[in-house]
Amino acid sequence: MADPLLELLLTENTNNQPNTTDTSSTSTLSKYLSRLLSLRPTDLTTTEPQSLTQSTQTNLLSLQALSSRSHRSTTTSSDQLSTLQESIPTLTRTATDIKNSVPNLDESTSTFAATYSRARTTTAGNDESNANTALTHRKSSLLLSRQADKLSDILELPHLLSTAIASAAAAPSGSANYTAALDLHAHIRRLQILYPDSQLVADIQIKAEDAMKDMTVNLLGSLRGSNIRLASAIRTVGWLRRVVPELGGSTIVNVDSTSSMKTGTGHGHGMSTYGHATEEATEGSFGALFLAARLSTFLSMTEDALAPMRDLADQESEKRLQSQQSQNVGTGTGSGTGTTPQLQRRTSSHTPSSAMQGTQTERYLKRYIEIFREQSFATVQMFRNIFPQGTSSTTSEDEEVLRLPSALASFPLHLVGLLMETLQTYLPNITDAAARESLLVQVLYAANSLGRLGADFSMMISLLDLPSDGPVEEEGQVEPEWYRVIKKHKVQAARLDALASGQENAARRVSQDVAVR
């Protein structure tokens, strides 16, 4: 029933308004007509108008809400739609330009690939490599960027080296820091060998050498320490071997133990030979360097530390010279009295005030001899332990004659010469025979200490200008003071040896008794 009615309505609507029908509207009309047919006649006049009004109001509210939500996008879409007619031709022209430029791009790409090809770069000559400076610069920049951390570590090597050396010099025991500094320096030298053409490595090598000079100064300063020990000296010399290896010589010199040691100053008479002076291949110039450092320590201890005592001794020397000049003048004026010079010396040396003369000189010489004994024995003993002696069977006699002796061959001579010069200068100030004898005995003990190492200089005290006021011998000659001192010293040494041997025998007997029990 609804379909014929719908067709009738559509026919009339088409006649009135052509081209206004739509499929969606047709389906809507069909549904509405079906609904009307299902209603009662009374409902068409009562409830249907209200239902239509309510539906109209609902649709209106929905349209208002939709307009409120999407009015901006709707407006924008409308604007874009208005410009779409201009955008499409522009897009068409751009696409045409891209299409026309593709052959040029392909040609440029082929040219670039042919010019900067890796195979071409590796096989090209100098002329072509110069033309690729941009590519070379880019490769260098990339390599620098990749190796930035390693370059930073290399640049920090001189600073680390200086810090290690400074901390080792400041710390009481800086052996670990010195070892680390030497390892760093060895690493820098390896870099110099691996990259001899690198300016960066060359600059780092220069800075490292400056730091190693400071380390050398610090090591030499430690060798000049007054209380240096054998272990510390061995470590220091070992570090010096690594810092300045060019000082290590390969010469081997053997000096026969039967040859005597002589000097041009007259102090070498009676000096025994210092053992077998053999310079090993490991000594080189380090032995002379060690002895020079210890000699500097000895001179600083005897000249700087004892300067106040030496000044007082110099004052006594001036007084002695003035008194001698006055006595010489008095002797010249009273020469007709018949008094002999020897008797005048005896009477002047035994005046009541003679015991007070030379007190400061005695203190100075006593301390000087103590320092000499300690430093000379310690230096020679440390030298023999640091540079052990030995013999070489591969060298001929001609080579042994032509080579220089060890640095230790003349060092005891020089020390003894300084001691004898000091005694010759200040010993005449002491007028007390007992004080002089005590000092000479102290000198003999120092000589015996060096004698255990092969450098006994006991007989050199005979060269000292001592007063001959001892007892007269059978031949009518006065016994020299040095002779009496040596004789007494030998007697005391024999007693000490006998006492020591007696104690050893007693200890041996006690041990035997204990073993028997």
Tokens 């028997």, residue located: 516
Region 13-38: mean pLDDT is: 70
> Which three-class secondary structure state does DSSP give residue 278?
strand
CA distances from 61 to 52, 67, 74 (A): 14, 10, 18
Look at residue 2 and tell me whether its pLDDT is greater than 50.
yes
> Where do runs of H (alpha helix) occur along 171-306?
175-194, 199-223, 230-243, 286-299
Of 258-272, 289-303, 360-374, 428-442, the poorest mean pLDDT is in 258-272
Residue-wise pLDDT for 335-371, tens only, equals 444 444 443 444 444 444 444 567 888 899 999 999 9
Tokens 């053999």, residue located: 278
Distance CA 139, CA 279 (A): 57
Band (pLDDT 50/70/90 cuts) for residue 428 is confident
Q: What's this model's pTM, rounded to 2 decimal places? A: 0.60
Q: Which residue has the higher pLDDT, 449 or 161?
A: 161
Q: Which of 103-112, 282-291, 388-397 has the highest mean pLDDT?
A: 103-112
Q: Torsion angle of alpha carbons 150, 153, 157, 160, nearest 10°?
A: -160
Of 64-78, 101-115, 129-143, the poorest mean pLDDT is in 129-143
Q: Which residue has the higher pLDDT, 355 or 249?
A: 249
Region 80-94: mean pLDDT is: 87
Distance CA 275, CA 387 (A): 14
Look at residue 102 and tell me whether its pLDDT is greater than 90.
yes
Band (pLDDT 50/70/90 cuts) for residue 267 is very low
Q: Is residue 255 within 8 Å of residue 277, measured between CB atoms?
A: yes
Query: Average model confidence (pLDDT) for the chain?
Result: 76
Closest CA to 418 of 387, 449, 451, 375: 375
Residue-wise pLDDT for 208-226, tens only, equals 999 999 999 999 988 888 8
Q: Which residues contact 477 (CB under 8 A, 6 or more apart)?
A: none
Residue-wise pLDDT for 152-195, tens only, equals 999 999 999 999 899 887 776 667 888 899 999 999 999 999 99
Q: Which residue has the higher pLDDT, 356 or 261?
A: 356
Continuous segment of H or E residues that includes residue 255: strand 253-255
Percent of the chain past pLDDT 90, that is, above it, reads 18
Distance CA 40, CA 76 (A): 49
Strands (E), 24-112: none
Look at residue 204 and tell me whether its pLDDT is greater than 90.
yes
- Taking the CA of residue 155 as centre, how many other CA atoms within 13 Å lie in the half-sphere pointing to its CB? 7
The pLDDT of residue 101 is 94
Distance CA 302, CA 354 (A): 27
Measured between its terminal Cα atoms, the distance across the chain in Å is 151
Query: What are 142's two structure tokens?
Result: 């990339």
279 - beta bridge partners?
A: 253
The pLDDT of residue 159 is 93
Of 273-282, 286-295, 384-393, 419-428, the poorest mean pLDDT is in 273-282
Look at residue 314 and tell me whether its pLDDT is greater than 60.
yes
Residue spans per domain, the chain: 149-223, 250-323+354-465
Q: Which residue has the higher pLDDT, 276 or 72?
A: 72
Query: What are 247's two structure tokens?
Result: 């000082």
Band (pLDDT 50/70/90 cuts) for residue 486 is confident
